[in-house]
Amino acid sequence: MIQRFWLTQRLQSPLNGRQMKYFLLATLLLLAACDNSTLAPKIAAPQRDVLEKAKDVDLIIQKNAEEIQNKAKEAEGY
């Protein structure tokens, strides 16, 4: 009888303090493990730097090409 009462109370009751502590610990560990996935890998850092420099060079080339076209149009009288 006592065992049956203990079992039914155990199934009906929410998490107790000890269970809650383990549940929170597991949740925190999962969140901590997932937190680093948002950072970009350091392996690709040199490639990203080169890409940014290439974009800057491309902008410079486009501006120079536009200036040359404008000067050519002015020389022709447009």
The whole-model pTM stands at 0.43
For 44-77, how does the pLDDT look when each residue is reduced to its tens digit (9 = 90+)?
A: 888 889 999 999 999 999 999 999 999 999 988 8
Distance between CA atoms of 61 and 56, rounded to whole angstroms? 9
Helix, coil or strand: residue 15: coil
Contact 15, 23 (CB under 8 A): yes
Domain ranges of the chain: 1-39, 41-78
Q: What is the pLDDT of residue 5?
A: 59
Q: What is the pLDDT of residue 13?
A: 60
Mean per-residue pLDDT for 8-18? 64
Q: What is the CA angle 65-70-73, rounded to 5?
A: 125
